[in-house]
Amino acid sequence: MRKVLLGAVLLAGGISIYAKANTQSEDEKLLTQARQFFAPLPSVVENPNNPITSEKVMLGKTLFYDPRLSKSGVISCNTCHNLATYGVDNLPTSIGHRWAIGPRNAPSVYNAALHIAQFWDGRAKDVEEQALGPILNPIEMAMPSEKEVLQRLKSIPEYVEMFKKAFPNEKDPLRYENVGKAIGAFERTLVTPSRFDEFLKGNTSALTNEEKKGLKLFIEVGCVACHSGTAVGGNGFFKFGQFVDYWKATAPYVTLDKPTIPVDLGRFGVTHKEEDMFVFKAPSLRNIEKTYPYFHDGSVWNLEDAVRIMAKTQLNKELTNEEIKYITAFLKSLTGQIPKQALEVPVLPASTESTPRPRAD
């Protein structure tokens, strides 16, 4: 009897060890597969043309939070790209100067420096160039000219000194281009490592079984065709509506009223090439759980709905509820840690002049 029990125990132990080894083997296979499409986040995103220094980052951070870069003195970069809410404002499209409603959803600034280009249509080559656009955009921050931006900054002695320290080798450091370089340097520090990065580095227990199933599906279904690389997206331009027109596909899931805006032609507005009609940059899926509502028009609020729509419009596939559950679980594993320094709001330097004053006209 003892021999029988001992044999049963050993057999059970052997099965348990075999099952564990088999699971580890499957995990290793998934890790190998994942590494073909993804890579862990770097600590910062370097730019050889804009070396990152502590002085430049501090200046960029202060400018990022300063509403005096807007005509009204009310809107800052952080207004639409709130660093406390994962770099977005969680609105379908942002509210700008004199309550103007923008035509597109504000993407997150976290991990944005990894993207192939900036804005949904890719009209800016990098975060340095992108940072300068909204300041002069009449329905965003609405400053009338570069000259007025510089006038306002030069009226603030501490900024004059900060620009000198950030760009020590320049005779005239307080230039409009350097505003973009400083903000860009700060944004290059805004990376959000997640449990998925730990998985990619070799810790296969960093993801749950449900998340691993979702990752496997994400690869096998074909989501990686547009969402791959370090940022899990942001590295290519694709037509939104490969198989189904996106506005038809999203219509059943739009639950809130939003202003009527013209149909967005996407990258066509930049290149004027017919093949770029309805083409947009594939967004990064890092922190996608937190950066709702989704798509370039912010029309869909539920992540599961967004997954279902993308499968249909881009891959012509009808996913089951279970498949969507697993893929969504994986996407939530991409929610990362916001850098502590990003949330430490700077004390803005004071101006010693009464003019130029913010304008609301």
pLDDT band at 251 (very low <50, low <70, confident <90, very high): confident
The rounded distance, in Å, linking the Cα atoms of 111 and 324 is 25
Note whether 197 and 207 are same-domain residues. yes
Residues 37 and 147 in one domain: no
* 212 neighbors 27 (Cβ within 8 angstroms): yes
pLDDT per residue as tens digits for the range 150-184: 999 999 999 999 999 999 999 999 999 999 999 99
pLDDT tens digits, one per residue of 122-141: 999 999 999 999 999 999 99
Whether residue 216 is contained in a domain is answered as yes
Q: Are residues 322 and 202 in the same domain?
A: yes
Residue 12 belongs to a domain: no
Q: Which stretch of 43-57, 123-137, 324-338, 347-361 has the lowest confidence by average pLDDT?
A: 347-361
Domain range enclosing 166: 54-191
Task: Note whether residue 238 is domain-resident.
Answer: yes
Q: Among all residues, which ones are annotated catalytic? A: 140
The answer to whether residues 125 and 81 belong to one domain is yes
Reduced DSSP (H G I as helix, E B as strand, rest coil) percent helix, strand, coil of the chain, to 5: 50, 5, 50
What pLDDT shows up at residue 149? 98
CA distance linking residue 82 with residue 76, whole number of Å: 9
Instruction: Inform me whether the pLDDT recorded for 80 exceeds 90.
Output: yes
Mean pLDDT confidence for 50-70 = 98
Percent of the chain with pLDDT over 90: 83
Surface-to-core class of residue 106, CB atoms within 10 Å of its CB (0-12 exposed, 13-18 middle, 19+ buried): buried
Residue 280, strand partner residues: 238
The residue from 156, 176, 191 where one domain ends is 191
Please give the backbone phi and psi of residue 12, each rounded to the nearest 5 degrees, phi first: -60, -40
Six token digits for residue 11:
């057999």
Task: Provide the domain count of the chain.
Answer: 2
**Same domain for 238 and 184?**
no
Where is average pLDDT lowest: 72-86, 159-173, 203-217, 342-356?
342-356
Domain boundary among the residues 191, 226, 259 is at 191
- With tokens 């049963």, the residue in question is 8
Whether 165 and 199 share a structural domain? no
Q: Which of 14-28, 260-274, 324-338 has the lowest mean pLDDT?
A: 14-28
Q: Mark whether 232 and 142 lie in a shared domain.
A: no
Judgement on whether residues 62 and 187 belong to the same structural domain of the protein: yes
The rounded distance, in Å, linking the Cα atoms of 185 and 189 is 7
Q: Of 191, 208, 224, which one is at a domain's C-terminal end?
A: 191
Q: Are residue 201 and residue 261 in the same domain, yes or no?
A: yes
Same domain, 153 and 235: no
Instruction: Tell how far CA 265 is from the center of its chain.
Output: 21
CA distance 223 to 323: 13
How many CB atoms neighbour CB 254 within 10 A?
17
Does 347 score more than 80 pLDDT? yes
Residue 6 has pLDDT above 80, yes or no: no
* pLDDT at 248 (0 to 100): 78
Residue 101 lies in a domain: yes
Confidence at residue 245, expressed as pLDDT on a 0 to 100 scale: 84
The verdict on 155 and 201 lying in the same domain is: no
At 186-210, the pLDDT tens digits run: 999 999 999 999 999 999 999 999 9
Give me the CATH number covering residue 166: 1.10.760.10
CA 188, CA 50: separation in Å to the nearest integer? 10
15 within domain boundaries? no
Is the same domain home to 113 and 133?
Answer: yes
In a domain, 23, yes or no: no
CB burial of residue 17 (10 Å; 0-12, 13-18, 19+):
exposed
Q: Is 297 inside any structural domain?
A: yes
Phi, psi dihedrals of residue 238, rounded to the nearest 5°: -145, 150
